[in-house]
Every structure is written in C-alpha cells, then in structure tokens.
Copies of this chain bind each other. A is one copy, B any other.
Amino acid sequence: MILTVTLNTALDMTYRVPALRPGASHRVSEVTERPGGKGLNVARVLAALGHEVTATGFAGGATGRCLREQLAGTPGLVDALVPVEGATRRTIAVVDGTTGDTTQLNEPGPVIAPAEWSAFVSLYGDLLSSASAVALCGSLPPGVPVGAYAQLVRTAHAMDVPVLLDTSGEPLRRGVAARPDIVKPNAEELAELTGSHEPLRATRDARRRGAHAVVASLGAQGLLAVTAEGRWRTTPPARMRGNPTGAGDSVVAGLLSGLVEQLPWPDRLARAAALSAATVLAPVAGEFDRKDYEELLGSVAVTGEASAA
C-alpha cells in the first residue's frame, strides 16, 4: 500500500451565500463537508486511481469523528489516524454566488501533546513496514517539532521506503536536508526555500539542498522536474478555468502512483499534470472526473531530456 501522512488534518467546509457582505447576516444556501488536509486529499486521489492507501496523522474531537465517518466511505482507503485529545480544525470556504470569490476562514487546530506525537512516530514505523511509498504532506500542527518531517524522512530511508515531501517554510527547509526522494514545492514555497524567483535556478538549488528530485508546480506554467534521470517540463493542455483547490495534491498523487508503478519520469509527469488539470475542471474542490483525466492525459505535452547515463 501507499502511506500518506497528514499531521494537520481538517474538516473542509464550503458555504455558498448569495453575496458576502461584511457586517451583514447571511443565510447559507448550501453546506458541504469533506475530509481535508493535503495528505487526505492525496489519499483520496490515489484510492480513486485504484491504489490501496493508508492515511495516518491526527484526528480528535467532534470534528475528528465527523472526518473519520466520512473517510470510512472511501473504498480502498484505510484510516490509521491517531486519536488526539484536541479537536480537529475546520476550514470554511465561503463562496460568493455573485462574484464567485472564495473567502477562507481557517481554524488554528489542536495542540499535539508529546505523548500523542510519540504514539504517531511509533505507528508510522509499523505502517512503513508494509508501504511501497510514503507522502508527507502539509503544515505541522502546534506541538509537533519543527524537524518532524526530517525525522520521518530518515525513518522512511532506514526502511527503504521512497518518500515524497510536500510542505513549506522551515519544515520544508529541514525536511529537504534529510534527502527525501521527491519534493513538490509550488512557486511560492520554492522561492521561500531558495530565495530565487527564477524557477529553473530555484528548482536546481532545491535539489542541491538535498532532494533527489524536485518537481515544482508552477500553476498555469505547468510542472518543472529536475531529477537524477534528467529534466522535464509539462505544458498544460490549454488555459484551464476552474477551482485550483487540491490541484497540487493531485500532482503528488500522480507522482507517487507513477513511482510505485515504476513509470519513467515523463509518464509520471504526464499523469501528474493530467490529474491536476482534471481537478481544476471538477466542480467540487479536490475531486476529479475519471473521463476528464483520461482525455487530458493524451493532450499533456512533456518536453525535456534524459541525463547521460
């Protein structure tokens, strides 16, 4: 199975209102709720692709119960979340029906106690023994040490499990130094890590800092991959209109599934780009339509070159 780690899970809620006006009272016309946090999004996409996935991380309180009830309905996905005392955070996306703008309200989330972190680290080691790959995704909740991802990367290496890291800021900086197999920063995370806004230079620099491969997701500019096997760029099928929420998580799922299926890099990148584009097209954030994905897969262009062996 593929293991995904989401230390800062969330119950993602979407509210639709006719028009958002600060200071006014609004009747919410539509409420949707789904399990959130980057690693859970990755897990759902992997499950939809037919992979067996185990999702770990933390969940607690009434919101955590809600989240787990909803995960239980996802075929192919095993819930291995560690129960915590605090309540899982909610995020609310308020969608304005007139402008289409989204206003995001993110709760801070629970503080993880030292004993809860230890319980996770122990379970993580157990789960790795049957994992073909692991994705470490998203921000760290309060209470988890800032070097957490570096530690989890080293544990995966010690057990010969390939590891992908998708985070930002100091946890990314420290995690990269522990030499993960793949990191997938977006343009902003890459610039923060390297100090450079020039994508190719920054991607190469990120690799020099320790990552075996760097796949930068550059939005409308597609993916830029610098790896030991060569470097490539994808061109998205066409200018996409839609909701980019979860598009980066679909890239992670595409890369990870391609890795465990031992696809060559260009095929992994084409899959990741097509999944990402299908996610942007889907009306519900973080979902994708299988037919859209398969059609898009044929129209993604991957250009670049393999390194000399």
Contacts and interface: CB of A to CB of B under 8 A. Distances in A.
Nearest to A28: B107
Contacts of A69: 62
Contact of A28 (B17, B25, B63, B105): B105
Interface string A202-223: 0000000000000000000000
B22 A108 contact: no
B106 A29 contact: no
Contact of A25 (B21, B62, B63, B106): B106
A15 B106 CA distance: 10
Contacts of A66: 62
Interface stretch (A43-51, A94-102, A152-160): A94-102
Interface in A12-31: 15, 17, 20-29, 31
Interface string A255-273: 0000000000000000000
The number of chain A residues touching the other chain, given as a range, is 20 to 34
Contacts of A108: 27-29, 31
A151 interface: no
A103 interface: yes
A299 interface: no
B106 A26 contact: yes
Contact of A62 (B28, B62, B103, B107): B62
A104 B31 contact: no
B65 A17 contact: no
Nearest to A25: B104
A61 to B, nearest CB: 9
Contacts of A24: 103-104
A47 B50 CA distance: 55
Contacts of A107: 15, 28, 31
A138 to B, nearest CB: 15
14 contacts: A20-B103, A22-B22, A22-B96, A22-B101, A22-B103, A23-B103, A24-B103, A25-B106, A26-B103, A28-B106, A62-B62, A62-B63, A92-B92, A92-B105
Given A21-B103, A27-B106, A62-B63, 12 more contacts: A15-B107, A22-B103, A23-B102, A24-B103, A25-B103, A26-B104, A26-B106, A27-B108, A28-B107, A62-B62, A62-B65, A94-B105
